């Protein structure tokens, strides 16, 4: 949702009235060349009437928010140098990306007017601005040298000056007859009709050391904003104080604004779209996931509140889902309240927060006076799934409830993040059974679960909605046949009376593939074409537009409980059950998985940073091969692993190779343990029915049939692991 959650999940929750600002975020060195192919689903419709903004990653992946439309990216080509900036066309129906070597990439109605991509530069390009007509643009280098193309006029430069700090960005005046440059210390250099209104050096920093990365003019040109690498946004002149970004996982490097309606006619030429030079090295994305700044997470859980004990099982009431939105953590599940395990006895929240609670990310305690604690707004049943809109303002919830946010919206609802109230404009037809999975992509909301109808219309297990209105989109999932995986071992049962269920969804960033995982045997297949679901049971790939099975299909044959789209927007990570469990990574369309690892119990949750994949579930041992001695069961159902290392319910692997990461030693208790995992800007969140956690294996808790471990410290139902690198 990149979100990111990059997304508002990646940059923290940006205030709604700040949606006219766009930022370019570094997420890793890419490599550049020339203009890129425009991917499918790019939107070139009429100019935006409401605010919006884009984020661009250094690999050229585009993240669209509000009215900002996805028009293409460099995500499908190999780059020689990283992207360092972007600029919109006057119509808002196109944009340019510029790389540090001056290579230009034009999309939508943006024309290609030249580049410095073949010129040896003294200093790297750090930003760009467009002409008033959209028939030209300028680039600025870190020494303040300006390179003009098309009809973009030259009004001066700092190329002959000795600068205290390098130039980091530039911005045009609304008239098109001037521009500003800004240095990394916030010093402003106006040219043409641009007027200086102050700079960052005059404003004390509240965010530590400050480095200005970008600037954007106010609509009138009588002011501007400066943005620092930490997300601090400083207004000058008549620029309004709209707030900034928080909880960044990568530094800000540029800004761009979506033009007002009617602000230009655009260039006559279109984007140059040559054949890409080789296989895709990065991917396009339009929704920034909230994927952590950390490459790895600590094995030591931070103190936090958790769920109440369940007297019937001796375990904690289960947490099914967690979602970080800015400085808040939303926690969902079957719990009737939360408690502080650090007190003796544990202190419950008052008022109670059944099924959906909100914690402060920094402290792990309930957010004081949160509207979600209002009994009149709380859901009246279990919440299984959470997702957030790219602007961080709408929380989507799915589950078994009938009411939420003070209104009726059976099993699927949209809630205002700030008020906790139901968003009335979102009015989907009611699913007839529970919802288990939610994913936001390209302004659409995908839902998965056990439902077979939406309102009165047949719609099985997966559906696509307009994320604003809740209207059902033409996506139609394939036919569903009887049969599920059942029992502890995930035995295929074609005659099972239980309803097949989709437990999780993952959508590639370009929206072309929707992966659906669950306990179904036949989703688009039959017992005759795929006996016992051996080939496609439990996991299928659907076309992101039509909902039909795609020609390529992933490796199935096991129930799938969790799916996660990697930071590159294409790699899918899956957690599976069955006879033992599996963690695996694959790229849709590829003939074989990247890696597949085995554990000795169901794998129920998985997430991945750029370097490390984290798998959670009901297991106690992990092995690279199914024949690993630590995965061979004895007749008593214990594992014969005298010299092996226990991985009680949590384990980490190298995200690229699948090699076991032995530095991550976190443990959890109970015989089931974790149910779900998610990532925030700086934390790994694990939810389940465990009572306690440990930093490493302890002698009292190495048996496969763990119920609870008195040697573990109390951490019921929720564990929060901070980033360690």
Mean pLDDT (the chain) is: 80
74 close to 83: Cβ distance less than 8 angstroms: yes
Note the residue count of the chain. 725
pTM: 0.64
Longest dimension (CA), the chain: 83
Tell me: the pLDDT tens digits for 583-629?
Answer: 999 999 998 999 998 888 899 999 998 889 999 999 888 865 555 55
Q: Lowest mean pLDDT of 59-68, 170-179, 654-663, name the range.
A: 59-68
* Exposed / middle / buried, residue 667 (Cβ in 10 Å: 0-12, 13-18, 19+): buried
- Please report the DSSP string for 617-644 in residue order: ES-S-EESSTT-GGGPBPTTS-B--TTS
Strand ranges (E), 52-193: 52-57, 62-66, 83-88, 94-99, 104-108, 125-130, 136-141, 146-150, 167-172, 178-183, 188-192
Dist CA 22 CA 164 (whole Å): 27
- Residue closest to 87 by CA, chosen among 125, 18, 48, 134: 134
Range 273-283 average pLDDT: 27
Q: Look at residue 45 and tell me whether its pLDDT is greater than 70.
A: no
User: For residue 691, what are its two tokens?
Assistant: 């009572």
Residue listed under structure tokens 């994305």: 285
Radius of gyration, alpha carbons of the chain: 26
User: For residue 35, what are its two tokens?
Assistant: 């203009």
Q: What is the pLDDT of residue 52?
A: 59
Dist CA 69 CA 60 (whole Å): 15
Instruction: Name the more confident of 1 and 336.
Output: 336
User: What is the rounded (10 degree) CA torsion for 368, 369, 372, 375?
Assistant: 120
Q: What is the pLDDT of residue 476?
A: 93
Dist CA 529 CA 447 (whole Å): 27
């Amino acid at each position: 949702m990149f979100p990111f959650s990059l997304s508002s999940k990646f940059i923290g929750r940006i205030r709604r009235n700040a949606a006219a600002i766009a930022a370019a975020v570094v997420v890793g060195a890419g490599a550049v060349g020339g203009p890129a192919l425009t991917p499918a689903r790019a939107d070139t419709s009429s100019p935006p009437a409401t605010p919006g903004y884009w984020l661009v990653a250094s690999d050229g992946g585009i993240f669209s928010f509000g009215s900002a439309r996805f028009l293409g990216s460099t995500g499908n080509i190999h780059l020689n140098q990283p992207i360092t900036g972007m600029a919109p066309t006057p119509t808002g129906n196109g944009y340019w990306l510029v790389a540090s070597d001056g290579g230009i990439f034009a999309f939508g109605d943006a024309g290609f007017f030249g580049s410095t991509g073949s010129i040896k530069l003294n200093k790297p390009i750090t930003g760009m601005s467009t002409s008033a007509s959209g028939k030209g643009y300028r680039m600025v280098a870190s020494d303040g040298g300006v390179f003009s193309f098309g009809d973009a006029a030259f009004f001066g430069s700092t190329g002959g000056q000795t600068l205290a700090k390098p130039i980091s960005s530039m911005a045009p005046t609304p008239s098109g007859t001037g521009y500003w440059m800004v240095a990394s210390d916030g010093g402003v250099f106006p040219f043409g009709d641009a007027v200086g209104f102050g700079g960052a050096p005059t404003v004390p920093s509240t965010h530590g050391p400050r480095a200005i990365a970008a600037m954007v003019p106010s609509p009138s040109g009588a002011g501007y904003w400066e943005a620092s690498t930490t997300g601090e946004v400083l207004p000058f002149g008549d620029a309004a104080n709209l707030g900034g970004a928080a909880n960044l996982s990568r530094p800000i490097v540029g800004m761009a604004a979506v033009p007002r309606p009617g602000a230009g006619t655009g260039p006559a030429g279109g984007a140059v779209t040559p054949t890409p030079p080789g296989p895709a090295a990065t991917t396009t994305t339009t929704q920034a996931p909230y994927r952590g700044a950390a490459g790895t997470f600590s094995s030591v859980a931070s103190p936090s509140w958790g769920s109440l004990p369940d007297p019937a099982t001796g375990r904690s009431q289960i947490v099914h889902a967690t979602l970080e939105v800015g400085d808040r953590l939303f926690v969902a599940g079957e719990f009737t309240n939360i408690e502080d395990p650090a007190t003796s006895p544990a202190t419950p929240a008052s008022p109670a927060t059944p099924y959906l609670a909100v914690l402060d990310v920094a402290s792990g305690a309930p957010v004081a006076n949160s509207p979600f604690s209002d009994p009149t707004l709380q859901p009246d049943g279990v919440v299984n799934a959470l997702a957030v809109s790219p602007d961080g303002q709408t929380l989507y919830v799915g589950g078994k409830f009938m009411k939420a946010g003070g209104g009726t919206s059976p099993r699927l609802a949209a809630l205002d993040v700030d008020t906790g109230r139901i968003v009335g404009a979102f009015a989907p037809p009611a699913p007839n059974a529970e919802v288990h999975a939610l994913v936001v992509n390209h302004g659409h909301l995908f839902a998965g679960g056990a439902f077979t109808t939406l309102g009165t219309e047949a719609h099985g297990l997966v559906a696509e909605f307009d994320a604003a209105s809740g209207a059902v989109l033409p996506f139609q999932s394939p036919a569903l046949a009887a049969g599920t995986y059942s029992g502890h071992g995930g035995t295929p049962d074609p005659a099972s009376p239980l309803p097949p269920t989709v437990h999780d969804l993952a959508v590639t960033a370009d929206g072309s593939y929707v992966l659906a995982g669950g306990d179904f045997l036949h989703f688009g297949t039959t017992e005759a074409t795929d006996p016992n679901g051996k080939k496609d049971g439990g996991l299928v790939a659907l076309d992101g537009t039509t909902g039909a099975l795609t020609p390529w299909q992933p490796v199935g044959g096991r129930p799938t409980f969790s799916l996660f789209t990697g930071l590159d927007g294409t790699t899918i990570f899956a957690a599976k059950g069955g006879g033992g469990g599996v963690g695996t990574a694959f790229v849709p369309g590829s003939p074989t998985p990247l890696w597949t690892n085995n554990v000795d119990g169901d794998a129920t949750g998985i997430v991945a940073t750029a370097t490390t994949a984290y798998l959670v579930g009901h297991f106690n041992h992990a092995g690279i091969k199914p024949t690993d001695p630590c995965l061979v069961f004895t007749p008593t159902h214990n594992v014969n692993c005298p010299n092996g290392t226990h991985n009680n319910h949590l384990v980490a692997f190298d995200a690229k190779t699948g090699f076991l990461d032995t530095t991550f030693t976190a443990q959890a208790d109970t015989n089931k343990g974790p149910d779900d995992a998610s990532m925030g800007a700086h934390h790994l969140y694990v939810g389940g029915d465990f009572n306690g956690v440990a930093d490493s294996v302890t002698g009292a808790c190495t048996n496969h049939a763990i119920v609870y471990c008195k040697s573990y410290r109390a951490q019921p139902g929720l564990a929060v692991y901070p980033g360690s690198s």
